[in-house]
Chains A and B, each alone.
Chain A
Amino acid sequence: MRPFFTLAGKLLRDSRWSLIFSALALFALGWLFVHVASLNETRILKTLSAAPGEKARAFRWMRDMGLEDAPSSTAIMMAFWNHPFIVLVVAIWAIGRGAGAVGAEIERGSLDLVLSRPISRWSYLAAQAMVATAGLLAIAGSLAAGALLASWYNVLRVPPDGLELVRPALNLAALGFSIYGYTLLFSSIDLVRWRPTMIGSVLTLGGFIARVIALIPIFKDAVWRPWAERFSIFSLYNPVDAVTGREVYSFDVTVLTALGASCVGLAFLFFTTRDLPANG
């Protein structure tokens, strides 16, 4: 097992700066969103504790805002987790690791040196997948950690507990895993880095745009809208549902994970049976 862990350690060292940067960025965002949620709640509570006439007006205003059901602090906070920057950070990590696993190594010529040692292609790709998945969990986990830590320092009506934040974090990691899966699949059959990067980016961006368009109210009755939604992996990323305990959460995470695992499985199949020609 030493060769496997030697390789995994090297991959982790090589990607440490992008991992640390991504994790810190999401940690800060997690903190920021709690702070914003806290400011909002404080403002609402302040309005409610004002004069009686003011109170009535505040209730009317809350109804207008659709806040009659008084969602939990965490659910409000989770609305921010749909922010494109969060998805962007996860997607960059997933696409970077996926495209870099095979195509980039062949392009650089460094795969020869590694695979000329007694390490199987299966072990090589397993080490790549393990580091990428661990990175995704760390990045998503740092978002949750930032939010949890911030909840100790910011006033929230109902502060989240740690376990409550695990579910949306897992949903985010599963989203990243599916992006990693299809990028790795294209990388496993390629000789260069740019092509799987481009395909992974186009698929991811296309999925995101499809999701955004499907949510625009004027397209509510369009016949293609359900298809646009169905074919976008982003419709399976619902952090608010994850904390409100809706059943769809398990479905979302399962489908995203299964999609990623299927693509990774196919990547193993292609990579272990393909030719590795000299490059450069």
Chain B
Amino acid sequence: MNPALIIAENLTKFYGDSPALRDLTLEIRRGEIFGLLGPNGSGKTTAIRLLLGFLRPTAGRASVAGFDCWRRGVEVRRLVSYMPGELRISGSMTGFGVLDFLSGLRDGDGLDRAVAIAETVMGLDLGRKVRKYSTGMKQKLALALAFADPTEILILDEPTSALDPSARADVLQLIREAREQGQTIIFSGHVLSEIEAVCDRVAILRRGRLVHVEDMAARRRLRMLLARFSGDTLPPIPEELELSIRRPEGTAWLFEHRGALGPLLHWLAAVDVQDVAIGTEDLRALYDQYHGPGAADDEDGAGNEDEEPSP
């Protein structure tokens, strides 16, 4: 297992009396794609801004490659390329001017690659003024810069929100290539299918708290089994099957299965099963456990999830 590159320890941020993030403790390993999931106001953006050194933690600490994010912000940002949700910059500059300026703030590194990505992958006309770009084109420009930066870490905040489907696919491919080149990626977003497609691990935030971290490789191995047996009792389940009961579903049982398929099928053939369905479970089901209509309220349920605390 790769060592942790990004560490948050009890990271907490309050704006006045309003909590934006509470006791976030997690480690992001070198070379992984780490997803941040949660609705608006769940603390994703606050967590990212704490990592970039834009915010001073109310309690706890965050570090990147051993550098404290608040005290050693410049060293941290030397290792990090950040793509905000929306590119907001002087519209009087051309696309090339924006790339030239922003790569100039990193000693000019990555300009050639950014131009290549912007022109060939993103299909942008860099001679045009940015004010004439659509929102999607601006996002592509920011993405071209982010993927070109020669940094160890890439933080993408809703990187595909304004893109068309084919551009989204290109971006997901660029994310995979970045990981192959050894970059560590934090991918914050709302599109569950995209996060599911590329992330190695996913953290779910709810009202400023980390409520779940999911290993996506394990999740991809997960099968859901719905079976109805004759008789009132469940047949005994051999331990080596890695089969666990999630809940009863009427007269049937819903199981989670993480093992090999062969032994499971042998077991099903041996017991008196009346009806069976095997499938997978997407990230939506997990997400809905925390943010769906029937999600349990916690002690902070009084707050409105969709409202970001104001500084």
Least Cβ–Cβ distance between B140 and chain A, in angstroms: 15
Is the CB of B296 closer than 8 A to any CB of chain A? no
A51 at the interface (CB under 8 A from B): no
Chain B residue nearest to A191 in the complex (CB): B311
Q: Is A246 an interface residue (CB 8 A)?
A: no
Q: B104 to chain A: which residues have CB within 8 Å?
A: 2-3, 6
Q: With the chains together, A10 CA to B102 CA distance in Å?
A: 10
The contact sample of 24 A-B pairs, CB cut-off 8 A, is: A2-B104, A3-B107, A6-B101, A108-B88, A110-B89, A112-B54, A112-B84, A112-B88, A113-B84, A113-B89, A113-B102, A115-B54, A116-B77, A116-B80, A116-B82, A116-B84, A117-B106, A120-B73, A121-B73, A275-B54, A276-B49, A276-B55, A278-B45, A278-B49
* B interface residues (Cβ-Cβ under 8 A, vs A): 15, 45, 49, 52, 54-56, 73-75, 77-78, 80-82, 84, 86-90, 92, 101-102, 104-108, 142, 308, 311
Given contacts A2-B107, A112-B88, A275-B54, 17 further A-B contacts (CB under 8 A): A2-B108, A10-B101, A14-B92, A108-B88, A109-B88, A113-B89, A113-B102, A114-B105, A116-B81, A117-B106, A118-B74, A118-B75, A118-B77, A118-B106, A119-B105, A276-B54, A277-B15
Range, interface on chain A = 20 to 34
With both chains docked as a complex, state the minimum distance between the C-beta of B35 and any C-beta of chain A, in angstroms: 19
In the complex, which residues 115-132 of chain A have their Cβ closer than 8 Å to any Cβ of chain B?
Answer: 115-121
Q: Using a CB-CB cutoff of 8 Å, which residues 1-35 of chain A contact chain B?
A: 2-3, 6-7, 10, 14
Q: Specify the chain A residue showing the minimal Cβ separation from B49.
A: A278
Taking a contact as CB atoms under 8 Å apart, the answer to whether B311 and A275 are in contact is yes
Chain A nearest CB, measured from B153 CB (Å): 12
B151 shortest CB reach to chain A, Å: 9
Bound form: Cα–Cα A109–B142 in Å: 14
With beta carbons under 8 angstroms apart, the residue of A7, A118, A121, A277 that contacts B49 is A277
CB closest chain-B residue, reference A7: B105
Query: Which residue on chain A has the smallest CB distance to residue B78?
Result: A118
* In the complex, residue of chain B having the shortest beta-carbon distance to the beta carbon of A6: B104
Most A C-beta atoms less than 10 A away, residue of B86, B105, B106, B108? B105
Residues on the B chain within 8 Å of A10, using CB: 101
Complex contacts, B92 vs chain A, CB 8 Å: 14
User: Which of A117, A120, A121 sits near B102, CB closer than 8 Å?
Assistant: A117
Contact of A113 among B74, B87, B107, B108 (CB under 8 A): B87
A118: chain B residues within 8 A (beta carbon)? 74-75, 77-78, 105-106
Beta-carbon nearest neighbor of A10 in chain B: B101
Q: Which residues of B contact A277 (CB under 8 A)?
A: 15, 49, 54-55, 311
Q: Which residues of A contact B45 (CB under 8 A)?
A: 278
CB of A109 within 8 A of CB of B108, answer no
* B183 CB, nearest partner CB in chain A, Å: 16
Interface residues of A in 50-103 (CB under 8 A from B): none
Which A residues, 255 to 280, have Cβ-Cβ distances below 8 Å to chain B? 273, 275-278, 280
Alpha-carbon distance between A119 and B54 when the two chains are bound, in angstroms:
12
The residue in A14, A116, A280 that gathers the most chain B C-beta atoms within 10 A of its C-beta is A116
Q: Which residue of B lies closest to A112 (CB)?
A: B84
Report the Cα distance A121→B311, complex, angstroms: 19
Question: B79's closest neighbor in chain A, by CB?
Answer: A118
